[in-house]
Structure 1
Amino acid sequence: MRSTNTQEIISIKDERLDIDRIGQYRLSFFISQSACEISIFDIQKKQLLLFEYRAFDEQGSTIDNLQAIYDDHILVAAGFWKEIHVYFRNKQFSLIPFPVFDKKLLSAYVRLNEPTDPNEDDYHFKILDDLGMTVAFGYPAEIREWFKKSYPRAALYFNHQSVAYLNGIKNQLKTKATNSLYMSLNSSGVQIAGFNLSRLAIYNQFAFSDANHLVKLALLTAKQFSDAGQSIPLLIHGTQDLVETYMPTLKKYFSNVELGQRPSGLMIHPVFNELETYEYFDVFSNL
């Protein structure tokens, strides 16, 4: 009897999802210490077909929780996925300007931001051509091995949440503003990016304790690349509960606050409209 059980918080499926067409679909996982977001996209039609949010059992490891989802979910366990993307919501990352990036130094780059053990962690990098940056990131090697064992015939792609977020947000930039700030709130904390026009000036991730702490982090981030202060345009994505909780305080301190939208070009059935348009932006940017 399995001791680990995940809690299904959100589960939305487009009834046009056809298991016989799984070869043209992409299965994606966004994994944090406490939860996992699962999505299925039709790559050819650019359609979102399934979205689920699963809270992890705190008594089990990440592997235990992934196995529990696999055992319970007929689609996740399907044996003929061709393409699977795995994104990690963790602090094991670093952004390096592409001209000075050296792939031999991946673990050293990650260690600048967060402790990492080469005996237990794997390392990858992703070049963000449009932003002139490279994201170096690490993650537990045992998770890679679990995916390789569970999906031996699938093409596996491992990535970091910063890649999905930055690739998505570059298409929603306030291009008429000299400086602008972008924020995404989820159960792992907050992602904050700052831009000078269309140039990435700063990106970081933080845990925070309350609304005032969040405001302080945003102001300190803005101060590092802009003198606009509280008048800097601020675009917010995030889960509904967190956005509704912190938006009133953010509006007290920032004079130009706006909610973000879904990524452009995403075909979505009205069944998904129970989600707010500013929710799970990085997940949906993975099209």
Structure 2
Amino acid sequence: MNTIHTHFRLSYKIYDEAFALSQAAQCHLYLSLSQKAIRFAVVDTARNKFVVLEDYELITVFTPLQVAEQLRLIAQENALLQVQNWKLVRVAVSNQQFTLVPETLYDPVHQFDYLRLHADLNPLQHEVYTYRHSGLEAINIFAVESGVRLALQGVFENQPLQLVHQTSALIRSILHVVPRNNLRSMYAFVERSYLTLLVVGPAGLEFCNVFHYTSPEDFIYYILFVMEEQKMNPEQETITLWGDITHDSSLFNILQKYVRQIKLGKKPEDVEYSYKFHDMFDHRYFELYSLHLCE
């Protein structure tokens, strides 16, 4: 009996008519996987330009294994995911199972132990990966569900595949776009049910964590809590936002009540975008764009 059901819908699609699947060998394919969405984008590396973006909303999906199941189903009907000669496939995984360790203290033999201090891990269900932040002299250690990795391997069986944690893509991109000065600032990436907060100061990254929220009250609590812990004043600080948030949303409205200065972030500027991207809010899909700045 077939118990696999479709729990996704295509909510947004951009496809530059100048792009053809025959160009895949000169293109990078970027994916972001979360419990709420599977998104992917294509960059033509010869022109350094984003030419495709697709956003699949996941409905009544509650576990990483269900995300893996939906990825397989999307791949069955999506021509982009059936191509087997991309120049590179890079995947960002969104979860709370990560930690940043100074490079001088890192021993690869103990990477599972480092992560186990910060996350609930099962050796039979999780695989541990790392990403080196050369500019920070730090290692991002993160977990990926074995079922998700197997689904990716099944879809891209003959592809060069790189897994990164979503925080690494955000860190790379934000540190790249933030001007170096003597100010400390907060940056937020908003997903449905998850909030990534970063604090950047004169010396670089000072704080990074991912919080799960279920209401606007949770959302603002975590922002104010981190500001207090980091000795930042909501009346004076500016918070810059990217992600799934709009001016008329309940999250934005409650944020305005407590934080005086709010900015919506821009797309990374070291890459071009097809004219079809110009009608989109600049602060959306930052996690996909940021994958282009990873190494």
Q: TM-score, normalised by structure 2?
A: 0.90
Question: Mind listing any 5+ residue stretches in structure 2 that lack a counterpart?
Answer: none
- Once the two structures are superposed, residues 216-247 of structure 1 have per-residue CA deviations (whole angstroms, 9 ceiling, x without a partner) of 21122122333445312211111244874322
Tell me the distance in 2 between the aligned counterparts of 1:110 and 1:274: 41
Alignment-derived partner of residue 54 in structure 1? 56
Within the alignment, does 1:12 sit opposite 2:8 as a pair?
no
- Once the two structures are superposed, residues 77-115 of structure 1 have per-residue CA deviations (whole angstroms, 9 ceiling, x without a partner) of 113223111111111111112221222222222222221
Alignment-derived partner of residue 189 in structure 2? 184
* Structure 1 residue 63, shift from structure 2 partner: 2.5
Asked if the contact 1:179/1:228 (under 8 Å) is kept, the reply is no
Secondary structure at the residue paired with 1:285? helix
Alignment-derived partner of residue 104 in structure 2? 99
Within the alignment, does 1:77 sit opposite 2:82 as a pair?
yes
Q: Which moved more, 1:216-225 or 1:240-249?
A: 240-249
Secondary structure at the residue paired with 1:75? helix
Question: Mind listing any 5+ residue stretches in structure 1 that lack a counterpart?
Answer: none
Tell me the distance in 2 between the aligned counterparts of 1:53 and 1:200: 29
- Once the two structures are superposed, residues 147-188 of structure 1 have per-residue CA deviations (whole angstroms, 9 ceiling, x without a partner) of 223322210101110011111111232533521100010124
Secondary structure at the residue paired with 2:129? strand
Q: TM-score, normalised by structure 1?
A: 0.92
Candidates 203, 208, 221, aligned match of 2:208 = 203
Tell me the distance in 1 between the aligned counterparts of 2:18 and 2:285: 21
Candidates 142, 147, 152, aligned match of 1:147 = 152
Alignment-derived partner of residue 46 in structure 2? 44
Tell me the distance in 2 between the aligned counterparts of 1:238 and 1:149: 29
Asked if the contact 1:179/1:233 (under 8 Å) is kept, the reply is no
How much identity, in percent, do the aligned residues show?
Answer: 18
Change (3 A) 1:58 1:247: closer
- Once the two structures are superposed, residues 113-164 of structure 1 have per-residue CA deviations (whole angstroms, 9 ceiling, x without a partner) of 2211112211111111112321100011222222223322210101110011
Instruction: Give the letter aligned to residue 291 of structure 2.
Output: N
Change (3 A) 1:227 1:11: closer
Change (3 A) 1:146 1:208: closer
